[in-house]
A and B are shown apart, each in its own frame.
Chain A
Amino acid sequence: MKDVFPTEGTGLPNRHERFTVLYNTYQARVYGYAAGRAGHQLAEEVVSETFLVAWRRLDDIPDQAQLQWLFRVARNILRDNVRQAARRESLEAELRTWITEAVADVGEHATERLTVLRALATLSDDDKEILTLTTWHGLSTAEAAQVLGCTRAAFFVRLHRARRRLQSAIDATDTADTAASRKPVTVPGRGPR
């Protein structure tokens, strides 16, 4: 995905305006990343904290890599300012919500979407992050590697492994589904599909 660099060459006069452009351009992306890593409960505050750091360090943000810089800050905040147990708990709740929504979904590819979300839920936290940086958050592999602070080669290796684990989780889910000859799925509070 090609990003536009909102403050580059625009000759914007002051910090305030530069910040506003930066915020309006990227806050939803940072929100999506935070929600994907820690659920909606935490996302709002992570976005605020991330952009407070951005405000204080506006001149340090590289023009060519603003989004990666913001993701990295958000990632550090998620790692250091949020208790990991609470983050995981919030994310588990979020994953359950997504799965519930996918169960209720009757649109195109609904079954596949449900299967892949269930498979994703079984993976480690690191795998979840690596897999979703490129598929959900619109980063190129080079950008995702920058966010994780690793080389592109290392990122490919990790992505490859995570992808393999996702595939086997999908296969296992499919097999289980077939074996159960597609029994109706029951979701608490919703009754049989």
Chain B
Amino acid sequence: MSRKPDAMRLLTMARPASLDRGSSVSADDLLVKAAAGAPPEPGRRRPRLLTAFRLASVATAVAVAAVVLVRSEGAAPSLEPARTVLLAAADRIENANPATGRYWHTIGRSMAVGAGGQAPAGMEPRLVNYRVTCTHEVWMAKSGRDPSWLVVTAQSGKPLTEADEETWRRQGAYRLGGCEGPGVPGVGGVTPSPPFAVRLDDELAPEVSYPQVGSAHVTTKEVMNLPTDVAKLRQVLQGWTRRSGQRADDESLYTQATSLLSQLPTTPRLRAALYRVLADLPRMRNTGATTDPIGRAGTGIELSGSGRRIVIDETSGRLLAAEERDARAALTSWTALTASGWTDARPALPTGIIGS
């Protein structure tokens, strides 16, 4: 094959005709559903996967509810309501030292189960289920003059089952790794082997580097300017969700509050207000004394039916970890914070750097 046809022309020619299929739902059907506030239902073909996710969440709800039931039948039924625990944590945090510094610095570990696949050229990649773990540091600069960073200090991954391992080996046993725990700034694409640093809050690449709070990308400045009045805070957070085109609900508030509490620069008063936003969610449940994924004792507070839980240290009010579980209550991802706070230090960056 000596001739070299242009790759983009080849790709244009290879466009699958099925891409033009179009949706089977009419504009009117969609509007009827919009008015009814229900998710749309296409004519004959029911939507498959997204619906499957919703069913999965319901399944999670059932599984989690069952676990709680068993637990409350067996154990002493003297657990304080989640609201009481969260409000007490808020009160404790509120009076902490309000001093800030040059950087908000957090150190954490994360785990995630996922699936993906790559294969040598010419081979169709098959999906490999994997488990990745990561140790990371986040350095969010208070001032826009200092660069913000995600520093990945350790990363590893392996195929989940023997069958996955076999597929993975056949596909070249490529390096598995990723930081995909809840609230960890995502690292997309191919990454170098650790340690490496990824530029965050970079106005030249907002889509990939701005902190993500729930579904919205925001700037550190927006985070720093969040109101500490609970009602106003909730309004701004709901506004962010809507700005990104999503429905604002309990789950969006939960996700936003946990990612703000776990990764982003906050004052004690804002952290207290975030706990109060969580306390107001009717679905929050106290699951009692527990240990976080790295074995530290704490109290588990879950958003019932979502498979999501935070573990907090009641004495200090500190957030220890955020966890996500599947329908069988198995952990699918978690992030545990081992340190967080303001510092005037600057990060010592490794040589591998992604971003400007």
Residue numbers of A with Cβ under 8 A of B are 16, 19-20, 23-24, 27-28, 31-32, 35-36, 40-49, 51-53, 55-57, 73, 76-77, 80-86, 88-90, 92, 95-96, 98-99, 101-102, 109, 112-122, 124-126, 131-132, 134-136, 148-151, 154, 163, 166-174, 176-178
Contact = CB atoms under 8 A, between A and B. Distances in A.
B18 A119 contact: no
Interface of B: 1, 5, 7-8, 10-16, 18-25, 27-28, 30-31, 33-34, 39-40, 42, 45, 47-53, 114-127, 188-190, 204-207, 214-215, 244-246
Given A44-B24, A170-B10, A99 B31 contact: no
A36 to B, nearest CB: 6
A92 B215 contact: no
Nearest to A116: B10
B119 A112 contact: no
Given A41-B49, A73-B245, A81-B246, A16 B31 contact: yes
Given A49-B50, A80-B215, A126-B188, A109 B13 contact: yes
A48 B30 contact: yes
Interface of A is mostly: helix
Given A92-B117, A95-B124, A115 B10 contact: yes
Contacts of B45: 44
A139 to B, nearest CB: 12
B115 A85 contact: yes
Given A48-B30, A124-B189, A150-B205, A32 B122 contact: no
A116 B101 CA distance: 52
A171 B121 CA distance: 9
A53 to B, nearest CB: 4
Nearest to B1: A174
Contacts of A118: 121-124
A31 B215 contact: no
A151 B326 CA distance: 39
9 contacts: A31-B21, A42-B48, A44-B24, A77-B246, A82-B53, A113-B14, A118-B123, A154-B204, A166-B7
Nearest to A101: B16
Contacts of A35: 18-19, 21
B22 A98 contact: no
A122 B123 CA distance: 8
Contacts of A88: 115-117, 127
Greatest chain A CB density within 10 A among B27, B45, B126 is at B27
A59 to B, nearest CB: 14
A37 to B, nearest CB: 11
Contact of A32 (B20, B48, B119): B20
